[in-house]
Structure 1
């Protein structure tokens, strides 16, 4: 299986002097083409920092991150930004959107850099995605006029605008009720089934159980890993039980 992103011995610290704290202590991890990876661990274990490092969103202090064969430490910020925009999508717990734009324009905006001549095509793509995720009727709404679940669906549309190879999600269901969270996870599963790789940071065993590979982090290292069959909707309780058993084994 082809590796899209490879992190080799990643080291990352925050703070200075006596306040300096190592968050990642030589972590190696990869994302394979078309796979679904979840990252779990207690608060402060380094799971979000690993996601930001692998996506090139945050710099690292040591080690190497390769994206499609490119060492991202050796390319400029503009090229790195273009690489993220063309090959990656991002969904966060609280989607960051502009209050002065409606839902449709918020979805389109990040994809417009260098594509202003293709505005009509971008709009068509955004509307097709909105229809797919069930928010087509909300395109003219302000971001304050929709629910949290609808806003998260808009965030997923935005992440898919450039047909990325991988989508990163940092606690994408953390602010949602259980029913809405399940609906959002159904979308991630559909996206993954179509060939897009997904990496989600989560504290929720139900969310992690959708993945085929789960990395369990503790104290800045990968403490353990669990592999499951590709999710097909069957035996969800059995998958969740395997995740929770592993969590108990390593004390997280």
Structure 2
């Protein structure tokens, strides 16, 4: 299995002089094609910072980040933007949707910016994705008139519009109830089964237990990993127990 991303000796710091500290402290990480991986740790441990660094959304002071053989730190802002737009998808805890646009228009907006001549095919693709995730009937709905889980589904549709090779998800279920969390994780599982790599940052052991590899962070370092078999839908309690036991062992 080929590697989608390699991060080597990554260092990222915040603050100045005596208050300066490394949020990422000599981190090495690899993510493989089609892998479903999660990152756990205390608030401030560096989880989200790692996600932003690996996706090229934030630069680092030191280290090398390679995406599909290309050194992200050697690319221009325009080149990075092209990669993020065409090769990566992003899902955040609070989807950044525009209030003056309906659900469908929010989903197609990034794609329409690049390719207005193919508007009809873009809209059709969005409708196919909306049907797939169960929000087809909401295409004309204002974003203020849908639930948090429905908004997150719209965010996932938008992330999938470019057929990305990897999706970066930063606490995608953090603002959702347990039912919506399970539904969103079911969607991620289906997306991953179809071949898209996914990296999820989460505090939730039940979310992490659905992934194949959990990286545990502490004070800016990846201090341990837990590998699990691919989730088959039947052993979630045992998997959660493994995750929580590892968290207790590591003091996370």
Give the TM-score, by structure 1 length: 0.98
Other structure's SS at 2:234 match: coil
Residues 1:216 and 2:216 aligned together: yes
CA distance in 1, matches of 2:159, 2:16: 34
Q: Shift in Å at residue 232 of structure 1?
A: 1.4
User: Relative to structure 2, which stretch is displaced further, 8-17 or 201-210?
Assistant: 8-17
**Superposition pairs for residues 127-166 of structure 1, below 5 Å?**
127-166=127-166
CA distance in 2, matches of 1:19, 1:245: 34
Residues 1:230 and 2:230 aligned together: yes
CA distance in 1, matches of 2:181, 2:27: 29
What are the superposed Cα offsets for residues 195-249 of structure 1, whole Å, 9 maximum, x if unpaired? 1000000000000001101000000000100000011112111111110110011
Aligned length, in residue pairs: 252
Other structure's SS at 1:226 match: strand
CA distance in 1, matches of 2:8, 2:201: 19
Moved segments of 4+, more than 2 Å? 15-21
Give the TM-score, by structure 2 length: 0.98
Q: Shift in Å at residue 111 of structure 1?
A: 1.8
CA distance in 1, matches of 2:17, 2:116: 46
Q: Shift in Å at residue 18 of structure 1?
A: 3.2
Aligned to 2:61: 61
Q: Shift in Å at residue 17 of structure 1?
A: 2.8
CA distance in 1, matches of 2:110, 2:246: 39
Aligned to 2:33: 33
**Superposition pairs for residues 133-212 of structure 1, below 5 Å?**
133-212=133-212
Segments of 5+ residues of structure 1 without an aligned counterpart are: none
CA distance in 2, matches of 1:182, 1:114: 34
**Superposition pairs for residues 106-145 of structure 1, below 5 Å?**
106-145=106-145
CA distance in 1, matches of 2:114, 2:101: 20
CA distance in 2, matches of 1:18, 1:95: 36
CA distance in 1, matches of 2:36, 2:129: 21
CA distance in 2, matches of 1:226, 1:234: 19
**Superposition pairs for residues 99-110 of structure 1, below 5 Å?**
99-110=99-110
CA distance in 1, matches of 2:80, 2:176: 32
CA distance in 2, matches of 1:244, 1:92: 24
Q: Shift in Å at residue 113 of structure 1?
A: 3.0
